[in-house]
């Protein structure tokens, strides 16, 4: 996974106790994530959040034939996790994101 984002009512004022959590996951091109993996992720996220979770992949949303849905999701999504690595940021960092002395 290269990115974990939230979208939908979880980010708005209309989020209620019975609302689900909409999650948008981005995977690398060679991730090989299967439908079973998605179900497992959904189950684990539901246990963590204590409520229903709808998991979508960025690739699936980008390929959606519904332009309104695609636009609404992609424009409202807020990234809450993205791994920080040398490949992503170009500067060596420690776990807290501080530049190493070698840079």
Quote the pLDDT of residue 99.
Answer: 52
Q: What value does the mean pLDDT take over residues 11-22?
A: 96
Give the mean pLDDT of the chain. 86
Cα 78 to Cα 40, 61, 72: the distances in Å are 22, 15, 12
DSSP classification of residue 93:
B
Cα 31 to Cα 39, 43, 58, 68: the distances in Å are 16, 20, 13, 28
Distance CA 64, CA 70 (A): 6
> Beta-strand (E) ranges in the chain?
3-7, 21-26, 53-57, 78-81
Note the pTM of the prediction, 2 decimals.
0.77
Quote the pLDDT of residue 28.
Answer: 87
Q: Which domains does the chain have, with CATH numbers?
A: 3-89 (3.30.460.10)
Q: Which one is predicted more confidently, 38 or 25?
A: 25
Query: pLDDT (tens digit, 9 = 90+) per residue, 27-77?
Result: 988 888 888 998 999 999 999 999 999 999 999 999 999 999 999 999 999
């Amino acid at each position: 996974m290269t990115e974990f984002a939230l979208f939908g009512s979880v980010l708005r004022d209309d989020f209620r106790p019975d609302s689900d959590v909409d999650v948008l996951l981005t995977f690398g091109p060679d991730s090989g994530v299967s439908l079973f993996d998605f179900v497992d992720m959904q189950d684990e996220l539901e246990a963590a959040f204590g409520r229903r979770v709808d998991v979508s992949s960025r690739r699936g949303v980008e390929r959606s034939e519904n332009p309104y849905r695609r636009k609404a999701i992609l424009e409202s999504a807020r990234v809450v996790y993205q791994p920080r690595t040398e490949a992503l940021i170009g500067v060596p960092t420690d776990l807290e994101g501080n530049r190493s002395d070698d840079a």
